[in-house]
Structure 1
Amino acid sequence: MRLLIMGPQGVGKGTQAALLSKNLDIPAISTGDIFRYNLKNETPLGLEAKAFIDKGLLVPDELTNKIVKDRLAMDDAKNGWILDGYPRNESQVEALDVMLKELGTPLDHAIALNADRSVLMERMQKRAEIEGRADDTPEIIAKRLDVYAHETAPLIDIYRNRGLLVEIDSTGGIESISKNILAALR
């Protein structure tokens, strides 16, 4: 099964991707993890990304797309995967469509996790306190949620229109949300 997991920061994408990975025996692939792997191992793609990161710039979509395609083509992803954190914009949706066609691996579902903004703010502030994340101030959290709403949330309609969207309320307990996702996928 090939899945995207989408939703704003604090909605539980990473947690649910890890649980789905165990349940479905497919890798959970986070774009952040892919970047860290390529940077740490100084792969050609990692070195290319490092040139942007060292200048404080965002890695361009074209390079992000190459890094994602490289990861999806690895042996452990042959039987499926859960992609967390990609695509983030319409250009990346188009690039993902092309790479999946080239790899001969169509997308099965896009899972959209939903929660009210107040719940997300509370979760992220709690996470910042627990993890000591100085960059998670209420102002920065609100800005991230605004960026998500403006840039990434519109992608949900793309997958809804394709008949691939599974929407899940993520305000319950972790196990309950996981069961709801699995039930919706079956």
Structure 2
Amino acid sequence: MFNLILFGPPGSGKGTQSEKLIAKYGFQHLSTGDLLRSEIANQTPLGLEAKNFMDKGELVPDAVVIGMISSALDNHPEAKGFLFDGFPRTAAQAEALDKLLELKKSAINLMLALEVSEEELVKRLLKRGETSGRSDDTNEKIIRARIAEYHRKTTAVADYYKQFNKVDSVPGEGTIDTIFTALGAAIDKRIK
């Protein structure tokens, strides 16, 4: 089993590249946002617990999210690997994820970080905002704040995985296919 974390700031192309990586490698996509919505819709005990926090405007505790990830892993025993999207976001979450995977006799094999300049991200998000209907993609000030928040939080996660030599940075500018080729090369180097 090969487990991958795909990282990148808002507008870096994670969604586009995730789809292509899943198609090529047969990964099971694991988005914590999707998991939360699914658990809430299915009214599972974890979903109801998460909804309770969200209804109060609070963040869902790491233990609840890790519980949902554990269930998702158990529900896909045939998976060739998992592509983690949007998680972990903190060093504490990375440690908790590693402990969970260790219990399941697995591990994170690679964290791929898409590197895109702030000016390119702003340009992409403003363009996406023209059609996405997302209000947070139409205001340059909000976009820059989201990018700064991403860097503030996720640097610690990259630093955590760097100590295990599990981080590769990939240029996230260029054509979709060029970026995908670079991501694939980084994965192929580790899969063998």
TM-score, with structure 2 as normaliser: 0.91
Pairing 1:180–2:186 present: no
Aligned counterpart, 2:37: 36
Amino acid at match of 1:165: V
Aligned counterpart, 1:82: 83
**Does structure 2 retain, via aligned residues, the 8 Å contact 1:26–1:77?**
no
Secondary structure (helix, strand or coil) at the match of 1:107 reads coil
Amino acid at match of 2:40: L
Q: Name whichever of 83-92 and 141-150 sits farther off.
A: 141-150
TM-score, with structure 1 as normaliser: 0.94
Q: Distance in 1 between matches of 2:55 and 2:156?
A: 30
Alignment gaps of 5+ in structure 1:
none
Q: Distance in 2 between matches of 1:88 and 1:43?
A: 24
Kindly report structure 1 stretches of 4+ aligned residues shifted beyond 4 Å.
none
- Deviation digits for residues 52-74 of structure 1 (CA, Å, limit 9, x no counterpart): 11122221222122112221222
Q: What RMSD, in angstroms, separates the aligned Cα atoms of the two structures?
A: 1.4
**Does structure 2 retain, via aligned residues, the 8 Å contact 1:89–1:151?**
yes
Aligned counterpart, 1:163: 165
**Does structure 1 retain, via aligned residues, the 8 Å contact 2:26–2:79?**
no
Amino acid at match of 2:105: G
Shift of 1:77: 5.9
Aligned counterpart, 1:105: 106
Secondary structure (helix, strand or coil) at the match of 1:88 reads coil
Alignment gaps of 5+ in structure 2:
none
C-alpha change, 1:98 and 1:88, in structure 2 (3 Å) is same
Q: Distance in 2 between matches of 1:70 and 1:143?
A: 33
Aligned counterpart, 1:142: 144
**Does structure 1 retain, via aligned residues, the 8 Å contact 2:28–2:79?**
no
Amino acid at match of 1:21: I
**Does structure 1 retain, via aligned residues, the 8 Å contact 2:10–2:147?**
yes
**Does structure 1 retain, via aligned residues, the 8 Å contact 2:129–2:135?**
yes
**Does structure 2 retain, via aligned residues, the 8 Å contact 1:5–1:83?**
yes
**Does structure 2 retain, via aligned residues, the 8 Å contact 1:7–1:153?**
no
Secondary structure (helix, strand or coil) at the match of 2:71 reads helix
Counterparts in 2 of 1:10-159, with a 5 A limit? 10-75=11-76, 78-136=79-137, 137-159=139-161
Secondary structure (helix, strand or coil) at the match of 1:153 reads helix
C-alpha change, 1:87 and 1:119, in structure 2 (3 Å) is same
